[in-house]
Structure 1
Amino acid sequence: MDGKKCSVWMFLPLVFTLFTSAGLWIVYFIAVEDNKILPLNVPDRKPGSKRPPYISIAGDTPPASCVFSQVMNMAAFLGRNHKGNVSFSLIICFKKSLKPLVMAVLRFIQLKPKVLNPWLNVSGLVALCLASFGMTLLGNFQLSNDEEIHNVGTSLTFGFGTLACWIQSALTLKINLKNEGRKVGIPRVALSTSITLCVVLYFILMAQGIHIHASRIQWGLVMCFLCYFGTFAVEFRHYRFEIVCSEYQENFLSFSESLSEASEYQTDQV
C-alpha cells in the first residue's frame, strides 16, 4: 500500500498523543499561574513553599482540576466528571477509557492473524486495558478526594503500561508487519527502556523524598508513554477497520477465519 492510500485510522493514535500531551501541559501551566504548584525549573524545593509539580497535584484543585477532567473527557470523546459515589464514578471511568481501549483492541485485531502463539498478543491486550483503566482512575479520583484509589490507578498505569510497552515492542520485532519491524521496533525498545528507567527512578526519588526531581521524572515518563501510543500510527496506516452487522447464519464465516483468509490489502473487519 503506497503512502497516498494511508488509512485514516493512523490519525487515532496521533490525535490521542498530541491532544492529551497538550492538555496535560495546559493543566500544569494553569496550576503554576494559580500558585498551586512549584514550576518544574526551580532549583530545589524550599521548606514551607508550594507543593511539588506532580501531575496528580497539578490537577488536584480547581481550576486546573476542571481542565484535567476535560482533557480526559476529550481523550475518550464522551463522559463527564462527577463527584459522587464510587460505583457511579467507576462507570464514568469505563466510559473515559474508550479511546485507549479502542487502540488496544484494534492492535490486538491487527496482530491476531499474524501470530502463531496468541498468548503474547492476548497479554499485550490485557496489559493495555489495565493501564488504560488505571489512567481513568487517576483522572477521576483526585489525590485529595480519594488517595487510595488514586494510588491504585498510578500502580496500574505505570506497572501495566510499562509491561504493555515491552510486549508491544517484542511483537513489533517478531511479526515485522509490512517489513517495518526494525524501523518501528527499535524506537519502541528505546522508549520502553526510557519508560522503565523513569519508573524505577520515580519510585526511588519518591521514597527518598526528593519530590522536585521525582516530579520531573514523572512528566518525562508520561510524555514517553504518550509518544509510544503515537507510534501505533505507523502500522495503523496500512489497515482499515469496519464494524459489520449481518443476519445470523449457521455457515457464516467466523471473525478469525475471515481475518486469516483476507489479503494484506483487504479491509480488516471488526
Structure 2
Amino acid sequence: MDWKKCSVWMLLPLVFTVFTGVGLWIVYFIAVEDDKIYPLNMANRKPGTRRPPYISIAGDAPPASCVFSQVMNMSAFLVLVVAVLRFIQLKQRVLNPCMNISGLIAQCLSSFGMSLLGNFQFSNNENIHNAGTAMTFGFGALACWIHSAMTIRLNVKNEGRKAGIPRVILSTAITLSVIIYFILMLQGLHMHAARTQWTAVMFFLAFFGTFAVEFRHYRFEITCTDIQEPFLSFSENLSEVSEYQTDQL
C-alpha cells in the first residue's frame, strides 16, 4: 500500500474506533477502582455492594459517569459524520438507493441511541437508557449487515472481498453476541452477560474501523459559494467527492 496516496479521511473511522474503545475502558477501570463494579475477570459474583460490570453500570455514577457521557456524545457525533460521508461515497454507485438510504438511517438511529445512553444514566431513567441500548445494538447490527452487503456488491476499487468478508464475519459475530447477551441477561447470568456485552461492543468498534479501507481512496471537500452562484444540491454542496486514483463519483 502506498501510504502517500492515501486520503487523510481514512483516519476518521480509525479515530472513532480508538477513541471510543479507550474511553470505554477508562470508564471501566474508574468504576472498578471505585468499587462500583466487579472486574470482568472475576470467576463468580460475590455478595456485596458492587454490581456486574455492564458498560451502563460502569458509567452509572460519578466520576465514571462524567467520562462515559462525554465519550458517548463524541462517539455518537463521529458515527453520524461517518454515516453521512459513507452515504455520499456510495450515492452514485448503488443501483438500489433504498439500501444506501437504509444504511444511513440505521446508523443515524444507532448514533441517537448512543447519545441516549450517554445522557440518561441507568439509575436516573432506566426506560430511556434501555431504549438507547436497544437502538444502539439493534440498528447498529442492522447497519453492519447493510454495509457488508453493499461492500461486496459494489466492489469499490476491486476491494469488495477484501473488506466485505471481514465485515460479514464481524456482522455475524455482532449479531450472535447481541443475541447471547440478551439471553444471558434474561437468565440472570450477569457476569457472563456483561462479558458478552463488552465483546459485542469491541466487534462494533472493529467494524466501523474497517471503513478506513474505502475512505483512503477518497477526499471530501466542503464547498462555500456566494448566494449569487447557482444553487447546488445538498450532497454537492456538502461534499465534492473525488478519488485519488481514476474513478469519479
Matches of 1:264 and 1:101, distance apart in 2:
22
Match of 2:206 among 202, 227, 243: 227
Question: What is the CA deviation profile of residues 207-233 of structure 1, one whole-angstrom value per residue up to 9, with x for unaligned ones?
Answer: 100000000000001111111111111
State the TM-score, normalizing by the size of structure 1: 0.84
Given that 1:241 and 1:268 are in contact with CA atoms closer than 8 Å, whether structure 2 keeps it comes out as: no
Q: Secondary structure at the match of 2:92?
A: helix
Residue 240 of structure 1 contacts residue 268 of structure 1 at CA under 8 Å; is this kept in 2?
A: no
2:17 equivalent in structure 1: 17
Structure 1 consecutive aligned stretches of length 4 or more whose deviation exceeds 6 Å: 255-258, 266-269
Gaps of 5+ in 2: none
| 8 Å contact from structure 1 (residues 239, 268) kept in 2 | no
Give, in whole Å, the separation in 2 of the partners of 1:32 and 1:255: 47
Look up the match of 1:40. 40
Per-residue deviation, 1:249: 6.1
Letter in 2 for 1:4: K
Quote the RMSD (CA, aligned, Å): 2.6
Partner Cα distance (2:58, 2:213) in 1: 32
Aligned to 1:29: 29
1:247 aligns with 2:226: yes
How far is the alpha carbon of 1:47 from its aligned partner?
A: 3.8
Residue of 132, 141, 154 corresponding to 2:111:
132
Q: Mapping of 1:100-115 within 5 angstroms?
A: 100-115=79-94
- Residues in 1 aligned to 2:59 and 2:51: alpha-carbon distance in whole angstroms: 12
The answer as to whether partners of 1:113 and 1:256 remain within 8 angstroms in 2 is: no
| Equivalent-residue separation in structure 2 for 1:20 and 1:246 (angstroms) | 35
Give, in whole Å, the separation in 1 of the partners of 2:78 and 2:160.
25
1:69 partner letter: S
1:171 equivalenced with 2:150 (yes/no)? yes
Equivalenced residue count is 247
Identity %: 74
Contact 2:219 2:243 survives alignment (8 Å): no
CA–CA separation in structure 1 for the residues paired with 2:246 and 2:52: 49
Unaligned runs of 5+ in 1: 77-96
Instruction: Specify the alignment match of 1:56 in structure 2.
Output: 56
Query: 1: distance between equivalents of 2:51 and 2:241?
Result: 56
- Kindly state the Cα deviation for residue 49 of structure 1 after the two structures are TM-superposed: 5.3
Q: Does the CA-based 8 Å contact 1:199-1:221 persist in structure 2?
A: yes
Please tell me whether residue 120 in structure 1 is matched to residue 92 in structure 2. no
Answer yes or no: is the 8 Å Cα contact 1:239–1:267 preserved in 2. no
Give, in angstroms, the shift of residue 68 of structure 1: 1.3
The yes-or-no answer on 1:160 pairing with 2:143 is no
| TM-score normalised to structure 2 length | 0.91
Q: Give, in angstroms, the shift of residue 44 of structure 1.
A: 1.5
Cα distance in 2 for partners of 1:144, 1:263 equals: 47
